[in-house]
Amino acid sequence: MKKIQLLSFTIVLLFVNFISNAQNGGATKVQAYYFHNQVRCETCRTVESEAKQNLKELYGEKVSFQALNLEDKAAQEIAKKLKVSGQTLLVVKNDKQVNLTNEGFLYAVTNPDKFKSIIKEKVDPLVN
């Protein structure tokens, strides 16, 4: 009987530790969101693909990327929480936000290398 109690107690402790680590890891993760509408032009699609590719190349798993259609209910909830009302490229860590929308639309098509360097400059402080 004592062995069963000890085993149960150990399992509970491991589970609590796992949940605690998962919550702490999620709270400090850097998340990139690209909010878009259902109908998108070529530039909009390029901003998404360049941002996603650059973030993956620069940061790997340290920054996750999520494209969200503003016409979907779930995306609207996230947009409301982040105070986003239209097409937006936003990188978030806790309460810090970096809005890269203007840079994305200015450079993703015409100067992708500059766009990548701007992403690095503005996102590095959130990751490091």
Q: What is the pLDDT of residues 74-86, one digit of tens each?
A: 999 999 999 999 9
- Torsion over CA: 65, 34, 73, 28 (sign): positive
Domains of the chain plus CATH, in order, are: 29-127 (3.40.30.10)
Q: Which pTM does this prediction carry?
A: 0.76
**CA distances for 126 relative to 70, 92, 93, angstroms:** 25, 8, 6
Going by DSSP bridges, is the β-strand pair 30-36/96-99 parallel, antiparallel, or unpaired? unpaired
Which residues 6+ apart lie within 8 Å of 71 measured at CB?
A: 37, 38
Strand-pair partners of 78: none
Q: What is the pLDDT of residue 14?
A: 41
Query: Average pLDDT over the chain, rounded to whole?
Result: 85
What tens digit of pLDDT does each residue of 17-71 get? 444 444 444 446 999 999 999 999 999 999 999 999 999 999 999 999 999 999 9
* Least reliable range by pLDDT among 19-23, 104-108, 110-114: 19-23
Name the band, by pLDDT with cuts 50, 70 and 90, for residue 128. confident
Name the band, by pLDDT with cuts 50, 70 and 90, for residue 10. very low
